[in-house]
Amino acid sequence: MKKNLLAGLVISLLASAAAAIEPFTVRDIRLEGIQRVEAGTVFSYLPVKVGDTMTDEMAAQAIKALFATGFFKDVRIEMDGGVVVVVVEERPAIAQIDFIGLKEFDKEQLTKGLKEVGVAVARTFDRATLEKAEQELKRQYLTRGRYAVTITTTVTPLERNRVAINFTIDEGEPATIRQINIVGANAIREKDLLAAMQQKTGGWLSWYTKDDQYSRQKLSADLETLRSYYLDRGYLEFSVESTQVSITPDKKEIYITISINEGERYLVSSVKLAGDLTLSEEEFRKLVKIRAGEVFSRERLNETTKAITDKLGHQGYAFANVNAAPELDKEKRQVAFTIFVDPGKRTYVRRINVTGNTKTRDEVIRQEMRQMEGAWYDADRVAKSRERIDRTGYFNEVTVETPPVPGTIDQVDVNVNVAEKSTGNISIGAGYSTAEKVILSGSISQTNIFGSGKHLGLQINTGKLNRTLGINYTNPYFTVDGISQGFDVYYRTLNPTSLGYAFQSTSWGGGIRFGFPLDEKDMLNVGLAIDQTTIDITPITIATPIQYIQFQKEHGDSNITLPATVSWIRDTRNSAIYTTSGGVQKAGVEVAIPGVDLSFYRLTYSNQQYFSLTKDLILMLYGEVGYANGLEGQTLPFYKNFFAGGVGSVRGFETASLGPVDPLYPDTRLGGTRKVVLNAELLMPFPGFDKALRLGPFIDAGNVFNETGYTISEGGLRWSVGLTAAWISPLGPLKFSFGQPIGIEKNDKIQKFQFQMGTTF
């Protein structure tokens, strides 16, 4: 009845828009009222053409067709002799869309979502579509647990038949979880199940973790977590019976009730291998993580199928299928598994395609590839290739896909897509001390100059004590085998007169170095340099340490050394920027070749490791030791001593302020022949910044020592605790630390706040 009434209403409207006419031949068609819509667009929708016979029925069809386009809010058909006049009134166009009060979502994200439902700048404005968009916005907020959200939409007419749309949003407070009940948990304590879930009732850290804020997506993830929790403990028949979410009338608190059926616990009775065992069964057996007699675990079963799939992938079987079929014995509560192996056909790589590199040359990326074109596909080599490209530090993101070649069953392409990042860097370090006030240091570098993969850097330090100007250059692929070559040139002055003692040193030098890859993770570096250092001591100043005066008497004002270096580096990091696992080990030997003015050696070792405690919680541990001494009966030059304290060492203490002091002048730091530094940091992303901002507590320890007159037992380690933050900001990388020394000694120099900042280009 309603449908008939509506049809009659439409017909009557069409009839009123086009009065009854006598049929005639159309000589011409004229359009009136169009502003933005092209005439050709209107003609393409009109069912009437020149030469047609115009009738009432055809006029009604024309009006209906033009209304259906959504471009017009009024359409009339008029006759002027043999001319059909189409009079239209266009709907306004959307000129701008603004959001007021938006905090929960990114504006670009919402704008993109509105476009998908038909509301976007330059689109035709339609009230019904706008109401649909408003409901979609509310739905998005409800998924974030913001049930108190209110959205007021304002449409403002503008000149030239346009409108501006404003969404005024009062997001309200997110609904927090008041209580979670799990009904049916008997074998496993409800307390343990709640601890495994991502969403929780409020705790003392909820202001940071926001784990008490309800989210529909998080609840779905938690249900899957519960399922995995039971399946990993043998409950094969576990199921979630129902989930109820209720909200209080004030829309501020959420109550969640989850009803589950645990089922029975199953033991594994046997594990068999079947199918095409390309490798020997014994080799496959070594990969089976689940054993007969054990409690069933889905996690171990998945590890088994993945290990077999990966093994086949390393042998060139890119499309291997490995599936486990269970056979339940409900009476004995046992399950037997048959793992079916189908390796498919052995696959080779047809072509490697590189995309996204708008600046970096193709060969820079291809030289990091370990999977070769024309060779058998090797999943391990493909993974290593992606990792090596990522570790160059030239790209924000590296993705590798291996789609099959159309029309073949034994070929794949390797598609490498990269997202370029700014590899130029201008960094500035700053600190404040009572001796030097504000200390500035900086560097400018380009690690991918002209997209060639070569590194070029300039270092500058403007501190009163230490002024440096240095240039370094590295070609990581000096040869096609991956041998690197580089050189360094520097000029620096040391002028610690502000500390009360008068000596100055001027050093210049340079050197060449080569790097030899030992394997995928290890590199051996060798180098040879020349250094000339001139010492200027004013003996009349009693604050000059006696060690410095004695060194000048023995070796004169100016000395030349030829330092030869050998170092080993092992890099196992999974990423050069956002490291979450792996680390870097370095061991080095520096020897000033005997037979020149000065001869000595320095030994150093450092180890930095990252551990993923949870998805977002990263533990970083760092240790560094050093030992140095003279050769051929000489003492170690005092300006080659180790120093500790400050950023990159023991935070909370002034830079190079730790270690032995002059007996007569306790404010004078002499450095030492032995060095120990230990750091531990717990890093976590700050909410709303993803991985761009990470912060957490740290604890540092370290000191430098001499072999005589200052021992570990007498001097001891210096300790500090504090907070650190690292932010990859739009302006460049920023790093802050606030350290509080523990057990401050009489002569310690404190510098609690330290930071480094820079920008990329």
List, for residues 35-55, the tens digit of each pLDDT value: 777 788 888 888 888 888 888
Give the CA count within 13 Å in the CB-facing half-sphere of 314: 8
Closest CA to 562 of 612, 597, 519, 605: 597
Last residue of a domain, one of 35, 65, 90: 90
Has residue 424 been placed in a domain?
A: no
Residue 447 covered by a domain: no
Residues 311 and 383 in one domain: no
User: What rounded mean pLDDT belongs to the chain?
Assistant: 84
Same domain, yes or no: 39 and 101? no
Query: How wide is the angle at C-alpha 444 spanned by C-alphas 441 and 446, nearest 5°?
Result: 150
Beta bridge partners of 180: 256
Those residues whose C-beta lies under 8 Å from the C-beta of residue 323, and which sit 6 or more positions away, are 305, 339, 340
Both tokens of 522, joined, read 């290890």
SS3 at position 320: coil
pLDDT average, residue stretch 144-152: 85
pLDDT for 325 equals 92
- In CATH, what number is assigned to the domain containing residue 124? 3.10.20.310
Q: What is the pLDDT of residue 480?
A: 84
- 740, 608: one domain: yes
* 53-57, 590-594, 718-722: the lowest-pLDDT one: 53-57
463 burial (CB, 10 Å; 0-12 / 13-18 / 19+) is buried
Mean predicted confidence (pLDDT) in 297-314: 91
Specify the pLDDT at position 1. 41
Tell whether 215 and 337 lie within a shared domain: no
The SS3 assignment for 217 reads: helix
| Interstrand relation of 455-462 and 437-446 (parallel, antiparallel or unpaired) | antiparallel
My answer on whether 633 and 694 are in the same domain is yes
Residue 69 and residue 108 in one domain: no
Q: Do 588 and 696 belong together in one domain?
A: yes
Residue 347 lies in a domain: no
d(CA 177, CA 255): 6
Return the amino acid letter for 397: E
Enumerate the H helices of 238-297 as residue ranges.
Answer: 281-287
pLDDT, tens digit, 9 for 90 and up, residues 374-405 = 999 998 899 889 988 988 888 888 999 999 99
Residue 437 falls inside a structural domain: no
pLDDT at 513: 95
Q: In terms of domains, do 127 and 8 share one?
A: no
360: pLDDT strictly greater than 70:
yes
Distances 111 to 103, 137, 152, 153, 162 between C-alpha atoms, Å:
14, 10, 16, 15, 18
186 and 315 share one domain: no
DSSP of 717-747, one letter per residue?
Answer: -EEEEEEEEEEEETTEEEEEEEEEEES--TT
| Per-residue pLDDT reduced to its tens digit, 690-707 | 667 888 999 999 999 887
Statement to judge: residues 24 and 80 lie in one domain: yes
* Residue 140 to residue 410: CA distance in whole angstroms: 45
In a domain, 366, yes or no: yes
For 162, 339, 359, 609, 719, the CA distances from 726, given in Å and listed in that order, are: 46, 47, 27, 17, 21
Once rounded to an integer, what is the mean pLDDT over residues 454-461? 84
Task: Assign residue 486 the CATH number of its domain.
Answer: 2.40.160.50
Domain count along the chain: 6
**What integer pLDDT is reported at residue 9 of this predicted model?**
41
Which span out of 128-132, 359-363, 461-465, 659-663 was modeled with the highest average pLDDT?
359-363
pLDDT in tens, 534-588: 988 765 455 677 777 888 888 888 999 999 999 999 999 887 777 888 999 999 9
pLDDT tens for each residue of 474-527: 999 898 888 999 999 999 887 755 555 556 788 999 999 999 999 888 999 999
On whether both 282 and 392 belong to a single domain, the answer is no
Q: What pLDDT score was predicted for residue 2?
A: 40
Give domain status of residue 457, yes or no. no
Question: What SS3 class is residue 286?
Answer: helix
**Containing domain of residue 47, as a range?**
2-90
Statement to judge: residues 680 and 660 lie in one domain = yes
Last residue of a domain, one of 235, 261, 287: 261
Beta strand pairing call for 466-475 and 455-462: antiparallel
427: left (phi over 0), alpha (psi -120 to 50) or beta: beta
Q: Which one of 60, 90, 120 terminates a domain?
A: 90
